[in-house]
Amino acid sequence: MSIRPLSNRVVLRKAEKEVTTKSGLILSATAAEVTDSYEVLAVGPGLYQDGVLVPCTLKAGDKVFIDKYAGNAVKVGGEEFLIVHEHEVLGVIE
């Protein structure tokens, strides 16, 4: 099962990140306080403005940062995703 976003929406999955403490313990991203980064899974076709389709600038596979309260969380097939508008993405990690 997959999610096909509409308009200028983007489907994100939280990027897994391990953090190592000073003592050598490895914490998962859920156990540690780290900046939230996400992986783009799917991108909608874009947004129509004045009858012209303006395509999204993001693409599947991009790693991005978003605002803490952006988007809507959805659960599909037991996995959690976040759906945001493209303008809610703060930046792409390069």
User: How do residues 25-73 score in pLDDT, each as one tens digit?
Assistant: 665 555 444 457 899 999 999 999 999 999 999 999 999 999 888 899 9
Domain boundaries, the chain: 9-93
Q: What pTM does this model have?
A: 0.78
Q: Look at residue 32 in the predicted model and tell me its pLDDT.
A: 44
Fold category of 9-93 in CATH = 10 Kd Chaperonin, Protein Cpn10; Chain O (2.30.33)
**Sequential DSSP letters for the chain:** ------TTEEEEEEPP--EE-TTS-EE-TTTS----EEEEEEE---EEETTEEE--S--TT-EEEE-TT-SEEEEETTEEEEEEEGGGEEEEE-
